[in-house]
């Protein structure tokens, strides 16, 4: 297991954003993390990579307990992430942005090596033509790719993707899915938060579902789609209308 | 060295060398004018490493100039220490002060950090006033005989000119090297988005502290050289908030985050200040004192509102060629 999450909870004041979540992740898999808006998916990511200290529970990554480590230590150990709301380093060029990932990520490269890695990664995600543009001048789809490139340049063991498909058009989504599969094929383990169901069902090996901070289902895409609780979480109780009608008649 | 092949490096160095040469070839009055320019090239370029690269606004940066100057001055005056050693000592104690302060206040961000730096400047001033060994509120004066050890006062003035020139050049070279280094890339990542930088693995607390230490080291040296030349040091002149703000204006005017910006900013501002100070400007029949401060205020406002990237920063946005040769 590359990642073991045990009884993790995160409480903000009176609000339990993540409630007693436990799951394991074998190496080389793509794990889809889904759930309605506000279910605590991004908060869970923030708990994994050290943005938030955990209220309870432990996260173990490659045999090392992550709890309490600052984000840069977590990055150093080999976890990279993208942000749902993109965070480009605006006044730096695209290449420099990606070099930051290579320079300070797991492999801690020197500038020269980092530049080579940056060029490779930009080619891989399709940003090579924009290498010398300022990151602030990219459009949303390109910024999402930049997030991805920066994370990849760190050569992480585990990649956390937070809604990299949101805001992309159909062609861009299928390009991005190909990129994600290619990353997995290089041996990188991935957890992806996603709202586009057909995409996440398509690409994930396994899926976990959060609702109100609690893990309500876990399994293969097919199992999860058939799960009653998951359907309720997304669509409400399908039998509710029938029951209400019956009550009215009765 | 890869840097030596960059045209932008030689342009930055060339501009400083030109300033040094021009100041050295026109007699004492011209030398004094350009001495001040070079002093501020050094100070502004130091500040730029913190302000321009790292994105931390220090309103009280002159504290390192004053504190280093005080310690060096004291060492020359009471210990009879050699000027060069004293200058190094001044730089080191300023760097050490920054290290200690950095660990405490670099946790603050934005306006809170800026405010803390002003507080520190005032606190240091109050502290020095209360230390009798440093002359208390009256400060200290060098015995004139000290200059004899350096070939007499006239020679000493030239010597200090060349020393400040050398330090200014070293600061500019350091500033260039930092900008082009991995360390510098980390600083600029912090400037753009500190949390995102940390998530990518930049050890921000360490990088920020080093930036602060470097940006404090050179002002400490310059302080010793400056006050050695003055022959007198007192709390009011060593810890002057006004100078701190003028340093900021110079960096912003020329272009914060660029190597060339603080050099040109320091030059332009000093020329402007000289012109205003010697002009017979009258307002409502009254002579105006320190008019340059009013101008600096207006200038800062204009820069922040209309060209926040400063002159060099603006030129860099104009064309790819300019971006390559103006660093």
Least CA distance to A50: which residue of chain B? B199
Structure tokens at B124: 């240091």
pLDDT along chain A (250 residues), means of 10: 93 92 93 90 93 93 91 95 92 95 92 94 91 91 92 94 88 88 92 90 92 90 86 76 78
Three-state SS letters, A2-61: CEEEEEEEEEECCEEEEEEEEEEECCCCEEEEECCCCCCHHHHHHHHCCCCCCCEEEEEE
Are A44 and A60 members of one domain?
A: yes
A70–B186 CB contact, under 8 Å: no
pTM of the model: 0.92
List pLDDT tens digits, range B158-171.
999 999 999 999 99
If 0-12 CB within 10 Å is exposed, 13-18 middle and 19+ buried, where does residue B52 land?
buried
B185–A103 CB contact, under 8 Å: yes
Q: Which residues of A touch B257 (CB under 8 A)?
A: 91
The domain tally of chain B equals 1
Q: What is the largest CA-CA distance in chain B?
A: 61
A76–B189 CB contact, under 8 Å: no
Q: Which residues of A touch B186 (CB under 8 A)?
A: 100, 103-104
Hey, is the C-beta of B3 within 8 angstroms of any chain A C-beta? no
Contact assessment for residue A2 and residue A157, using Cβ atoms and an 8 Å cutoff: yes
Cα(A117)–Cα(A101) distance, rounded to whole angstroms?
10
Hey, is the C-beta of B319 within 8 angstroms of any chain A C-beta? no
Are A64 and A173 members of one domain?
A: yes
Hey, is the C-beta of A104 within 8 angstroms of any chain B C-beta? yes
Backbone angles phi, psi at B139, to 5 degrees: 75, -160
Nearest Cα residue to A41 out of A191, A206, A226: A191
Cα(A248)–Cα(B47) distance, rounded to whole angstroms?
76
Hey, is the C-beta of B202 within 8 angstroms of any chain A C-beta? yes
Contact assessment for residue A213 and residue A40, using Cβ atoms and an 8 Å cutoff: yes
Q: Which residues pair with A3 in a beta bridge?
A: A25, A61
Q: Which residues pair with A4 in a beta bridge?
A: A24, A60
Q: Domain containing B303: what range?
A: 3-325
Q: Which residues of B touch A96 (CB under 8 A)?
A: 185, 188
Structure tokens at A80: 């990279």
Confidence at residue B241, expressed as pLDDT on a 0 to 100 scale: 93
Are A25 and A56 members of one domain?
A: yes
Instruction: Tell me what percent of chain B is helix, strand and coil, each rounded to the nearest 5.
Output: 80, 0, 15
Which of A134, A154, A174 represents a domain boundary (last residue)? A154
Q: What is the ipTM of this complex?
A: 0.89
Are A180 and A244 members of one domain?
A: yes
Confidence at residue A240, expressed as pLDDT on a 0 to 100 scale: 74
Hey, is the C-beta of A100 within 8 angstroms of any chain B C-beta? yes
How far does the CA of residue B185 sit from the closest CA of chain A (Å)?
Answer: 7
Are A41 and A135 members of one domain?
A: no
The domain tally of chain A equals 2
- The residues, ordered by sequence, that sit 6+ positions from B88 with a Cβ below 8 Å of its Cβ are B221
How far does the CA of residue A223 sit from the closest CA of chain B (Å)?
Answer: 34
Q: Which residues of A touch B188 (CB under 8 A)?
A: 89, 91-92, 96
Which of A94, A127, A154 represents a domain boundary (last residue)? A154
Contact assessment for residue A100 and residue B197, using Cβ atoms and an 8 Å cutoff: yes
How far does the CA of residue A70 sit from the closest CA of chain B (Å)?
Answer: 8
Hey, is the C-beta of A154 within 8 angstroms of any chain B C-beta? yes
Q: Which residues of B touch A108 (CB under 8 A)?
A: 201
B273 versus A156: the higher-pLDDT residue is A156
Which CATH number characterizes residue B235's domain? 1.10.3470
Hey, is the C-beta of A51 within 8 angstroms of any chain B C-beta? yes
Q: Which residues of A touch B312 (CB under 8 A)?
A: none
List pLDDT tens digits, range B193-231.
999 999 999 999 999 999 999 999 999 999 999 999 999
Task: Give the number of beta-carbon pairs within 8 Å between A and B.
Answer: 74
The residue to which tokens 């320079």 are assigned:
A103
Interface of B with A in 57-116 (CB under 8 A): none
Confidence at residue B2, expressed as pLDDT on a 0 to 100 scale: 77
Which of A82-96, B60-74, B265-279 has the lowest average pLDDT?
Answer: B265-279
Confidence at residue A169, expressed as pLDDT on a 0 to 100 scale: 86
B203–A104 CB contact, under 8 Å: yes
Are A126 and A106 members of one domain?
A: yes
Over range B69-79, report the average pLDDT: 96
Which of A60-69, A239-248, B27-36, B67-76 has the lowest average pLDDT?
Answer: A239-248
Which CATH number characterizes residue A168's domain? 3.40.50.300
Structure tokens at A88: 């480009």
Confidence at residue B1, expressed as pLDDT on a 0 to 100 scale: 65
Nearest Cα residue to A155 out of A128, A129, A189, A123: A189
Structure tokens at B34: 């350009």
Hey, is the C-beta of A216 within 8 angstroms of any chain B C-beta? no
Which of A154, A169, A204 represents a domain boundary (last residue)? A154
Nearest Cα residue to B60 out of B98, B100, B104: B98
Structure tokens at B235: 């709390």
Backbone angles phi, psi at B227, to 5 degrees: -75, -25
- The residues, ordered by sequence, that sit 6+ positions from B15 with a Cβ below 8 Å of its Cβ are B260, B263, B264
The neighbour count for residue B32, using CB atoms within 10 Å, is: 13
Alpha helix locations (H) across chain A?
41-48, 71-77, 94-104, 111-125, 140-153, 170-185, 197-203, 221-226, 228-235, 240-249
What region does A99 belong to: left with phi over 0, alpha with psi -120 to 50, or beta? Answer: alpha
Considering only CB atoms, B192 lies closest to which of A49, A89, A104, namely: A89
Cα(B75)–Cα(B87) distance, rounded to whole angstroms?
9
Q: Which residues of A touch B195 (CB under 8 A)?
A: 51, 71, 87
Q: Domain containing A102: what range?
A: 84-154
Least CA distance to A104: which residue of chain B? B201
């Amino acid at each position: 297991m590359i990642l073991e999450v045990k009884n993790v909870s995160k409480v903000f004041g009176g609000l339990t954003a993540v409630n007693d979540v436990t799951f394991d992740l074998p190496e080389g898999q793509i794990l889809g993390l889904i759930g309605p808006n506000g279910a605590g998916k991004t908060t869970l990511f923030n708990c994994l990579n050290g943005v938030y200290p955990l209220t309870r529970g432990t996260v173990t990554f490659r045999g090392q307990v992550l709890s309490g480590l600052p984000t840069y230590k977590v990055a150093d150990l080999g976890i990279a992430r993208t942000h749902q709301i993109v965070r480009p380093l605006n006044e730096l060029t695209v290449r420099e942005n990606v070099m930051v990932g290579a320079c300070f990520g797991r492999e801690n490269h020197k500038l020269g090596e980092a530049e080579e890695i940056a060029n490779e990664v930009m080619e891989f995600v399709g940003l090579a033509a924009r290498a010398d543009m300022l990151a602030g001048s990219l459009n949303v789809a390109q910024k999402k790719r930049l997030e991805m490139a920066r994370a990849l340049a760190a050569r992480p063991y585990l990649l956390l993707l937070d809604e990299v498909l949101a805001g992309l058009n159909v062609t861009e989504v299928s390009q991005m899915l190909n990129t994600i599969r290619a990353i997995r094929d290089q041996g990188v383990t991935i957890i992806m938060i996603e709202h586009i169901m057909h995409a996440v069902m398509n690409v994930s090996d396994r899926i976990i579902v959060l609702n109100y901070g609690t893990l309500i289902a876990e399994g293969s895409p097919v199992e999860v789609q058939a799960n009653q609780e998951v359907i309720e979480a997304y669509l409400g109780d399908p039998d509710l209308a029938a029951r209400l009608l019956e009550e009215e008649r009765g | 060295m890869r840097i030596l092949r960059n045209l932008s490096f030689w342009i930055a160095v060339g501009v400083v060398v030109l300033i040094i040469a021009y100041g050295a070839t026109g007699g004492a009055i011209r030398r004094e004018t350009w001495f001040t320019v070079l002093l501020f090239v050094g100070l502004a370029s130091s500040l730029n490493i913190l302000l321009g690269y790292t994105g931390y606004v220090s309103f009280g940066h002159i504290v390192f100039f004053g504190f280093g100057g005080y310690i060096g001055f004291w060492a020359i005056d009471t210990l009879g220490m050699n000027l060069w050693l004293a200058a190094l000592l001044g730089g080191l104690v300023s760097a050490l002060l920054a290290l200690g302060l950095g660990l405490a206040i670099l946790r603050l961000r934005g306006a809170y950090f800026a405010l803390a730096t002003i507080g520190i400047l005032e606190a240091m001033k109050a502290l020095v006033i209360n230390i009798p060994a440093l002359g208390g509120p009256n400060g200290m004066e060098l015995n004139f005989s000290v200059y004899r050890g350096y070939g007499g006062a006239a020679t000493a003035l030239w010597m200090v000119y060349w020393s400040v020139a050398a330090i200014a050049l070293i600061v500019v070279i350091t500033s260039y090297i930092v900008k082009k280094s991995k360390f510098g890339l980390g600083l600029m990542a912090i400037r753009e988005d500190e949390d995102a930088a940390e998530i990518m693995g930049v050890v921000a607390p360490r990088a920020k502290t080093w930036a602060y230490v470097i940006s404090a080291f050179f002002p400490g040296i310059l302080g010793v050289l400056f006050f050695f030349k003055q022959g007198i040091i007192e709390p009011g002149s060593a810890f002057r908030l006004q100078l701190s703000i003028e340093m900021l204006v110079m960096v912003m005017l020329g272009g914060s985050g660029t190597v060339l910006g603080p050099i040109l900013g320091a030059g332009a501002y000093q020329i402007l200040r000289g012109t205003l100070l010697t002009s017979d400007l009258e307002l409502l029949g009254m002579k105006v004192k320190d008019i340059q401060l009013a101008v600096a205020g207006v200038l800062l406002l204009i820069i922040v509102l209309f060209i926040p990237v400063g002159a060099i920063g603006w030129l860099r946005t104009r064309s790819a060629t300019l971006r390559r040769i103006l660093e």
